[in-house]
Amino acid sequence: MGEAYTHPEVLVSTQWVQDHLDDPKVRVVESDEDLLLYDLGHVPGAVRIDWQGDLQDQVVRDYINADRFAELCSRSGIAPDTTVVFYGDKSNWWACYAFWAFTLFGHKNLKIMNGGRKLWLDEGRPVTREVPSHPATNYQPKGGDEAAVRAFRDDVAAHLKASRPLIDVRSPKEFTGELLHMADYPQEGSLRGGHIPTAKSVPWSRAVNEDGTFKTVDELRAIYQKDLGLKTTDDVIAYCRIGERSSLTWFVLTYLLGFDRVRNYDGSWTEWGNLVRAPIARGE
Catalytic residue among 169, 207, 240, 248: 240
Residue 96 designated active-site: no
C-alpha span between 20 and 40 (Å, rounded): 22
DSSP 114-142: TTHHHHHHHTT---B-PPP-PPP------
> Which of 74, 84, 79, 69 lies closest to 28, judged by CA?
84
At residue 269, the 3 state secondary structure works out as helix
Torsion angle of the four alpha carbons 51, 53, 56, 60, in this order, in degrees rounded to the nearest 10: 150
Which H or E element spans position 158? helix 153-161
Q: How many beta carbons lie within 10 A of that of residue 187, not counting itself?
A: 12
**Which pairs count as long-range contacts for 61-68, CB under 8 Å and 24+ apart, including other chains?**
61/267, 63/101, 63/104, 66/105, 66/141, 66/143
- Please give the positions annotated as active site: 240
